[in-house]
Chain A
Amino acid sequence: MSTGTRRLDIEEINDVTVVKFVDKKILDEGNIQIIGNQLFGLVDEDHRGKIVLDFSNVEYLSSAALGKLITMDKKVKAAKGKLRLCTIRADILEVFKITRLDKLFTIFPNQEKALEGF
């Protein structure tokens, strides 16, 4: 896999950036590094302030991937932006609940709900 491979599908809906993960499994260390860098670029380089992360394709997520999401959340907050998560399947939502990260992130059942009032 080349480091230039796009791991995120990005769409602008009104003034909100909707990001869909391309991968079903966000497990592999190298892949997580690339995904993290592409996510951080949305804030650090593109200065996007309202971001929705859509997990509809994602079937597996490791703690290393959670770490990248936490760093992303910090970056968005530091830039006074807002981050919302949506469409997380039940197994993965359980991972967020076990780790209490459902308290840190704002999670919506689907993209439509995530975009409401954003």
Chain B
Amino acid sequence: MLSKLTTPFFAAINASRYGVGLYVLMGTFCVLICAFSALFFGVIPISVADVFNAQATFEQHILIELRLPRVLLALCVGAILAICGCITQGLFRNPLADPSIIGVSAGASAGASIVIVLFSEQVSYFGGLSLVFFGAFIGSILAVFLVYRLATTAAGTSVTTLLLAGIALTFFAGSLASFLQYLGDNDMLKRLSLWRMGGFDHANYTHVALAISMLLILCAILPRFIKALNAFLLGESQAFYLGINVKVTKRVLIICVAAGVGLSVALAGTIAFVGLIVPHIVRLCVGADHRLVLPISACLGACLLILTDTLARTVLQPEEIPVGLITSFIGAPVFMWLLKTHHHKVVDP
């Protein structure tokens, strides 16, 4: 659908023998710079010198206990969402697909609503994780499991049915969440809508550990499926003719997306547009080869969420804006611009 931007900069790297390595190196470098600079923005002014200043224990405490886990969580969630976006778009052979298309976000939202409304009196924590986290995570996994079962017959999993079942489930989970909202009181409503807008303000090291583990698991699994994802872009039967085990590939990739997005939504609420827009921009720059698209999207997603989270906590300080609000607020216009400027090159078959 979208064709590739051909700027001399990207063309030069694409032509280089070390293309992938160069991109990944540059991407990691950008992520590190973003993460490092983000540590020094915030309500309390902290300078780099404070890190080495023995007197500045208060500032160091803020850095290590508040800002570092927050930045790390934003990094991981951004990378996970972008990776899951790539996979969904490849799996559905649609550059405009989004992970929420298979019902992950809706399921998480319903799960969170159930926990907030029904268990409001006893807000409990298990090992640094709130009950809402478990509700959202279980909700999202259940949703994907249900959608996947609906779309799977003896003949295999139909991607079209998956999409339609995802839409149906989104409506069902949405009505469930609305009904619970209707039952809830003012305090519950506020917590619900705040959760839904997403944010990293409760970040702690348990969250970070979970997110990092998920990111590492994805990084361990996905390289084996890069060829399969590329073949999938041609079509499912074409991938089969190229020797790809279509059934296993689909199952593993859907589990990856469900776990990845489920965890992200449970940790940080629904953060829209990262999974949709990041792989899209990356494809415009480097083409459709997943060997490049996956790692670069991960880096760009990480940078993007670190930056938006920094904006979220500095723009209206000392107040905080939910980060999901900012990603939509910036993401939607950027996406409209992309549609306007690059869709004239659309050549539909």
Partners in one complex: no
